[in-house]
């Protein structure tokens, strides 16, 4: 017998969130949890039969075990070829690159992104389609529906495969290619950016650090920054992927990458520092004594796009997720290009990128990317900044403050209230929703409300409509408050409040954001009745 069919019971909790299925490791290891999801993918995606599947992950605990299970299930389900990153590694953007380059039918990416790893941490899996991007809602819904009715799964009667040596192995009728996880991706980076200019910048003594946070980008960053661009050894820190990320949150932000932030301060400060998350799709950009918000980063890169060789002739348009600040909108207006506002989650950029309507896109949550793949891409953002820095010859701080002087500054902050009781969180959102119709035209703490709605997105390419994507309250002075519940949390509900204010006057652009936004923050707290409804006095995380 080449394979065995086992009967199973459906799980009811396999509806993917904003970025796939994400649960505690122990959940994935319970019964047939992983196998049910994977079989549901094979059942719902007939193109995989006889096609090519890309497989890899961020190297976290359970990655290797999951890869062996998936390989055997792929064989039993008639997949022709699987491309696996050596060691089971593929960063999320590299997986997207490989899917596209080898015209695979799809890919399974194993990651819980920036969530902690290890036996007590999180694991995750998501399916990307042939364009290299996260499956669209209609596909994830089909997989989810299948997971509710599944009665059996198939798995090959085969031995584990050595995934640590490059080369081909057969598993019954299926071919397994163990590929260098870095090669194709590094080649793509060198085709996009001005490698000579960046090399010259580094050779001239420009100092940078890249923090891989013991996650998947270590090998990518070493190859690209140290080998190809000639940065000194040691430029990449925490560069060896560990199953538990060294016990840290592989989350590139001011809190979790505090050591890196410290390297940008004081007498011995480096000129530029950056970090990426567990699976390599997020980025944080720092200059000397300067933090670039992801919303500003997108706007600055869009304004400087033509300095990047692949975009020499200009970009057709840009997109940002709804809660991302409107800084990039102002650049788009100035450039006379299209600007789209999409729901949270990278999958909503896919159609716009495929159709060539946009080239750059981003989210406030440390996600930036372009049309080179269909995922956000941490190292792409770092390379884009290096490219711009090399050609402008100015510091990070000078580039960003100069940008504000030209376009105005969108002060911005996100407040997260984590682990709220689900009922209370939904009650808060429902109460806000009920008040929306009465707000437009009226005043809230002296500011005139221009619009108030629960964001609904109609995809301009396929016409699909996504409703209830977050509450937006926009004011006539350009400021805005957004409320939404997280789709990626694993414990209770997380309320995210996004606050933004526009400041055109250069004299008033250098305030600390929490101070500049204090009045709007108070308005948001009062309007949503955050304290009375949740008992919380302050957010758990302020970004």
Active site residues: 113
Among 43, 279, 500, 503, binds Zn ion (CB under 5 A): 279
**Closest alpha carbon to 208 in 192, 190, 221, 191:** 221
Which residues share a beta bridge with 168?
177
Over the window 409 to 438, marking each residue x when it contacts ligand G1P by CB under 6 A and - when it does not, the resulting string is ------------------------------
End-to-end CA distance of the chain: 55
Distance separating alpha carbons of residues 57 and 16, to the nearest angstrom = 17
* Smallest separation (angstroms) from ligand G1P to the CB of 308: 24
Rounded to whole angstroms, the Cα distance separating 42 from 27 reads 21
DSSP-assigned states of every residue in 480-505? EEEEEE-SS-SSSEEEEEEEEEEE--
Q: Does 496 bind ligand G1P (CB under 6 A)?
A: yes
Maximum pairwise Cα distance, the chain: 76
Indicate which single residue of 32, 45, 81, 113 sits in contact with Zn ion (rule: CB under 5 A): 113
- Contact with ligand G1P (CB under 6 A) among 486, 523, 525, 534: 486
Least distance (Å) from Zn ion to the CB of residue 503?
A: 31
Is the separation of the CB atoms in 150 and 143 below 8 Å?
Answer: no
Q: Which of 211, 226, 281, 500 touches Zn ion (CB under 5 A)?
A: 281
Is residue 277 near Zn ion by the rule CB under 5 A? Answer: yes
Residue 488 as a binder of ligand G1P (CB under 6 A): the answer is yes
For the window 76-115, what string marks contact with ligand G1P as x by the rule CB under 6 A? -------------------------------------x--
DSSP H/E element including 146: helix 137-149
Distance from CA of residue 107 to its chain's centroid? 17
Shortest Cβ 422–ligand G1P spacing (Å):
14
Binding of residue 363 to ligand G1P (CB under 6 A): yes
Closest CA to 183 of 224, 237, 218, 216: 224
Element containing residue 149 per DSSP (H, E): helix 137-149
Q: Which is nearer to ligand G1P, 384 or 495 (CB)?
A: 495
- Alpha carbon of residue 352 to chain centroid: 17
Closer CB to ligand G1P, 229 or 352, in the complex: 352
- List the one residue from 3, 14, 16, 19 that touches ligand G1P (CB under 6 A): 19
CB 276 within 8 A of CB 161: no
Residue with Cβ nearer ligand G1P (382 or 396): 382
Instruction: Tell me how far the alpha carbon of residue 387 is from its chain's centroid.
Output: 21
Choose among Zn ion, ligand G1P, none what residue 293 binds, the Cβ cut-off being 5 to 8 Å by kind: none
Residue 220 falls in which region: left (phi positive, over 0), alpha (psi -120 to 50) or beta: alpha
Q: Which stretch binds Zn ion (CB under 5 A): 35-43, 236-244, 274-282, 396-404?
A: 274-282
Contact segment (CB under 5 A) with Zn ion among 108-116, 392-400, 430-438, 472-480 equals: 108-116
Residue 329 binding partner per list Zn ion, ligand G1P, none, with a CB distance cut-off of 5 to 8 Å that depends on partner kind: none
Q: Are strands 52-57 and 81-89 parallel, antiparallel or unpaired?
A: parallel
Q: Write out the residues near ligand G1P by the rule CB under 6 A.
A: 18-19, 113, 321, 344-346, 363, 365, 367, 486-488, 496
- Site residues (vs Zn ion, CB under 5 A): 113, 277, 279, 281-282
């Amino acid at each position: 017998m080449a394979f065995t069919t086992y009967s199973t019971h459906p799980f009811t909790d396999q509806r993917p969130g904003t970025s796939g299925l994400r649960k505690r490791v122990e959940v994935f290891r319970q019964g047939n949890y992983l196998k049910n999801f994977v079989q549901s993918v094979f059942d719902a995606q007939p193109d995989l039969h006889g096609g090519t599947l890309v497989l890899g992950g961020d190297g976290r605990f359970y990655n290797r075990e999951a890869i062996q299970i998936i390989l055997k299930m792929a064989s039993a389900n008639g997949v022709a070829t699987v491309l696996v990153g050596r060691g089971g590694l593929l960063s999320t953007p590299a997986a997207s690159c490989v899917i596209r380059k080898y015209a695979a039918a799809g890919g399974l990416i194993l990651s819980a992104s920036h969530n902690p790893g290890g036996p007590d941490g999180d694991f995750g899996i998501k399916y990307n389609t042939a364009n290299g991007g996260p499956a669209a809602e209609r596909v994830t819904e089909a997989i989810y529906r299948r997971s509710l009715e599944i009665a059996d799964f198939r798995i090959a009667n085969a031995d584990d495969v050595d995934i640590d040596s490059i080369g081909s192995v057969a598993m019954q009728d299926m071919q397994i290619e163990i590929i260098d996880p870095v090669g194709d991706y590094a080649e793509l980076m060198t085709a996009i950016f001005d490698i000579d200019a960046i090399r010259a910048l580094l050779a001239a003594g420009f100092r940078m650090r890249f923090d891989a946070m013991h996650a998947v980008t270590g090998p990518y960053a070493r190859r690209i920054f140290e080998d190809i661009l000639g940065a000194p050894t040691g430029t990449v820190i925490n560069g060896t992927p560990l199953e538990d990320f060294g016990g840290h949150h592989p989350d590139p932000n001011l809190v979790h990458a505090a050591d890196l932030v410290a390297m940008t301060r004081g007498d011995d400060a480096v000129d530029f520092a950056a970090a990426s998350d567990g699976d390599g799709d997020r980025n944080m950009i720092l200059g000397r004594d300067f933090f670039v918000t992801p919303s500003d980063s997108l706007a600055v890169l869009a304004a400087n796009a033509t300095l990047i060789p692949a975009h020499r002739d200009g970009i057709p348009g840009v997109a940002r997720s709804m809660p991302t600040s409107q800084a990039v909108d102002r650049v788009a207006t100035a450039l006379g290009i299209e600007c789209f506002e999409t729901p949270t989650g990278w999958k909503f950029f896919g159609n716009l990128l495929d159709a060539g309507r946009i080239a750059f896109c981003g989210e406030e949550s440390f996600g930036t990317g372009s049309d080179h793949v269909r995922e956000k891409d941490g190292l792409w953002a770092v390379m884009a900044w290096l490219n711009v820095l090399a050609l402008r010859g100015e510091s990070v701080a000078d580039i960003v403050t100069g940008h504000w002087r030209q376009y105005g500054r969108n002060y911005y902050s996100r407040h997260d209230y984590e682990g709220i009781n689900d009922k209370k969180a939904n009650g808060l959102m429902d109460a806000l929703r009920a008040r929306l119709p009465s707000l437009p035209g009226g005043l809230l703490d002296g500011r005139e409300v221009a619009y108030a709605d629960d964001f609904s997105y109609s995809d301009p390419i396929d016409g699909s409509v996504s409703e209830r994507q977050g509450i937006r309250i926009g004011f006539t002075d350009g400021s805005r408050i957004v409320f939404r519940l997280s789709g990626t949390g694993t414990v209770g509900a997380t309320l995210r409040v996004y606050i933004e204010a526009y400041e055109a006057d250069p004299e008033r652009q250098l305030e600390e954001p929490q101070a500049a936004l204090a009045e709007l923050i108070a308005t948001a707290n009062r309007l949503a009745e955050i304290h009375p409804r949740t008992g919380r006095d302050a957010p758990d995380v302020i970004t």
